[in-house]
């Protein structure tokens, strides 16, 4: 929050130092707009008019490059300094010390749970992992090779038909139970989608296992009576879920908030988030990294590849970020997890290419001057591949982790008295007042 002090402008009029003075050169009128949190309210600009019945001035900001859409206390990012915090806790500490479900609790409630609270939270989520048999049946109706992300998108949206009380978003108890169900059932839907795509029978949840371990069981269990996940792989997956849990107002979270602002149920809102994450510019970059590494093929080709990037022929996928102009802190953590996973699975030869690419890029003037550093996707694809996941599952894994963030942001929005239905303005560029011409005269 900022404090206001009074100063005097050239004309002797008292102004606040925490304000912006705008002169409209069309009219010569001057306006003082308050600045709060280094932000002005766009609606203040509506006062700037030529005629009284004008709509007033608008801002034009495609892609929200400089527009805050909400106040949020969930996630803090300082892109220049490579800082990411959930509810004020550095991501490095959470990835080292927390479990994914503990982080989910933190994101949703704003505080780390006590051990009793965590035990109850874990228990509630564990006992809600099963889905109605009808869900399984309609999933079986998808084409044999359906993309698992498309199946996840459809099936999470369909949960609203199984829990019609979810429409009562003003009821705190209903919001709580839908939150539990979303976190609990997302891995089940994701695993069913994977098994369908592989032509394998769906595996029911194993509630003796932890969150990540149960997911691995539903993915990989074949004929054994009980699947026993390797604890190192289970932990690596749990860390990946933590790293993907939230990233403030990114494309999919904005989609969840925007759709949720219509007061639809949370399953439909989360389905919108999955849809946004499906796109290659959002959840699909790690796949592009993997394909790039496969194409480079050997460390001998790295220099030529980097030269191609500098010539503008291609992009170094997994590098650069709209917000981070420093190391993406998630990339550093993933790099450590890579070593743990490869200890179990054996080293992926693509790792040498990735390491060499990173080394050369970080020393090269092209990347230094543009502040291009590895982002979360540079190494995550290598881990997913080492875990035996096909590339179609990469965004699905992202969606499982991001569900806690989507729900936390949705809950925050539902309770925010300043939020209304999301409804941007436009600058109309089309024709006006045309007279209809009958088809036989066109």
- Measured CA to CA, the distance from residue 414 to residue 412 in angstroms comes to 6
**Per-position b or e across 234-245, b if 16+ CB within 10 A of its CB:** bbbbbbbbbbbb
- Residue with nearest beta carbon to ligand CMC: 320
Nearest Cα neighbor of 283 from 313, 305, 251 is 251
Least distance between ligand CMC and beta carbon 354 (Å): 13
**Position 319 contacts ligand CMC (CB under 6 A):** yes
Query: Between 229 and 268, how does the x/- string for binding to ligand CMC read (CB under 6 A)?
Result: ------------------x--x------------------
Distance (Å, whole) CA 233 – CA 395: 18
Q: In whole angstroms, what is the distance from residue 83 CA to residue 87 CA?
A: 13
Considering only residues 165 through 204, tell me which ones interact with ligand CMC, judged by CB under 6 A. Answer: none
Other residues' Cβ atoms within 10 Å of the Cβ of residue 202: 16
Interface region with ligand CMC, contact rule CB under 6 A, candidates 12-20, 71-79, 138-146, 320-328:
320-328
C-beta separation of 121 from 109 below 8 A? no
Query: Of residues 107, 169, 272, 316, which one binds ligand CMC by CB under 6 A?
Result: 316
CA pair distance 159, 85, nearest whole angstrom: 31
Residues that contact ligand CMC, how many (by CB under 6 A): 18
At its nearest, how many Å lie between ligand CMC and the CB of residue 371? 8
Q: Which is nearer to ligand CMC, 170 or 322 (CB)?
A: 322
Task: Please state the closest distance from residue 323 (CB atom) to ligand CMC, in A.
Answer: 8
Q: What CA–CA distance (Å, rounded) separates 134 from 162? A: 9
By the rule CB under 6 A, 372 interacts with ligand CMC: yes
Q: In 176-232, where do the E strands start and end?
A: none
Chosen residue from 273, 320, 329, 401 binding ligand CMC by CB under 6 A: 320
Backbone angles phi, psi at 297, to 5 degrees: 80, -35
Please tell me whether residue 425 binds ligand CMC under the rule CB under 6 A: no
From 248, 234, 348, select the one nearest 293 (Cα to Cα). Answer: 348
| In contact, 88 and 77? CB cutoff 8 Å | no
* Least gap, CB of 258 to ligand CMC (angstroms): 17
Region near ligand CMC per CB under 6 A, out of 16-24, 151-159, 309-317, 417-425: 309-317
Q: How many residues does this entry show for the chain?
A: 442
Instruction: Identify which of 35, 37, 2 has the alpha carbon closest to the alpha carbon of residue 21.
Output: 35
CA quadruple 275, 278, 281, 283: dihedral sign = positive
Indicate which residues carry an active-site annotation. 282, 321, 377
Contact residue for ligand CMC among 46, 123, 295, 322 (CB under 6 A)? 322
Query: Of 276-295, which residues contact ligand CMC (CB under 6 A)?
Result: 282, 285
Question: Taking the complex as a whole, how short is the minimal distance between the CB of residue 334 and ligand CMC, in angstroms?
Answer: 12
CB of 436 to ligand CMC, least distance (A): 43
- Three-class SS state of 423: coil
Return phi, psi of residue 437, to 5°: -110, 125
Interface with ligand CMC in residues 50-79 (CB under 6 A)? none
Among 205, 318, 401, 405, binds ligand CMC (CB under 6 A): 318
Task: Candidates 41, 370, 415, 425: give the one binding ligand CMC (CB under 6 A).
Answer: 370
**Binding site residues, ligand CMC, CB under 6 A:** 247, 250, 282, 285, 309, 315-322, 370, 372, 375-377
């Amino acid at each position: 929050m900022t404090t206001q002090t009074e100063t005097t402008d050239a004309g002797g009029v008292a102004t606040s130092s925490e304000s912006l003075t705008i002169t409209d050169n069309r009219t010569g009128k001057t306006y003082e707009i308050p600045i709060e949190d280094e932000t002005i309210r766009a609606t203040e600009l509506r006062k700037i008019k030529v005629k009284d019945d004008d709509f007033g001035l608008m801002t034009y900001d495609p892609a929200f490059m400089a527009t805050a859409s909400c106040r949020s206390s969930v996630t803090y990012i300082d892109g220049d300094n490579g800082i990411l915090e959930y509810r004020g806790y550095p991501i490095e500490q959470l990835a080292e010390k927390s479990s994914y479900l503990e982080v989910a609790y933190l994101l949703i409630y704003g505080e780390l749970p006590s051990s009793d609270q965590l035990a109850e939270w874990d228990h509630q989520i564990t006992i809600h992992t099963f889905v109605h048999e009808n869900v399984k049946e309609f999933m079986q109706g998808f084409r044999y090779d359906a993309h698992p992300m498309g199946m996840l998108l459809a099936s999470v949206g369909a949960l609203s038909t199984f829990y019609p009380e979810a429409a009562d978003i003003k009821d705190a108890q209903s919001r709580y139970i839908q939150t539990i169900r979303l976190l609990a059932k997302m891995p089940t839907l994701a695993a069913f989608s994977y098994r369908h795509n592989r032509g394998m029978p769906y595996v029911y949840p194993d509630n003796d296992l932890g969150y990540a371990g149960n997911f691995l069981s539903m993915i990989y269990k074949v004929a054994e009576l009980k699947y026993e996940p390797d604890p190192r792989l289970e932990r690596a997956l749990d860390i990946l879920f933590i790293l993907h849990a939230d990233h403030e107002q990114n494309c999919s979270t904005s989609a969840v908030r925007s759709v949720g602002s219509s007061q639809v149920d949370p399953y439909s809102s989360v389905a919108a988030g999955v849809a946004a994450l499906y796109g290659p510019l959002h959840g699909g970059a790690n796949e592009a990294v993997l394909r790039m590494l496969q194409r480079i093929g050997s460390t001998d080709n790295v220099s030529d590849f980097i030269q191609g990037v500098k010539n503008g022929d291609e992009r170094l996928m997994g590098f650069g970020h709209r917000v981070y102009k420093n190391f993406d802190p998630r990339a550093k953590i993933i790099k450590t997890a890579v070593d743990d996973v490869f200890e179990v699975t054996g080293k992926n030869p693509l790792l040498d290419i990735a390491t060499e690419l990173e080394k050369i890029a970080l020393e090269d003037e092209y990347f230094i001057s543009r502040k291009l550093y590895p982002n979360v996707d540079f190494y995550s694809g290598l881990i997913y591949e080492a875990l035996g996941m096909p590339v179609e599952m990469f965004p699905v894994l992202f969606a499982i982790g991001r569900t806690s963030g989507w729900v936390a942001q949705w809950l925050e929005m539902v309770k925010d008295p300043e939020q209304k239905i999301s409804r941007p303005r436009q600058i109309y560029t089309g024709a006006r007042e045309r007279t209809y011409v009958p088809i036989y005269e066109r």
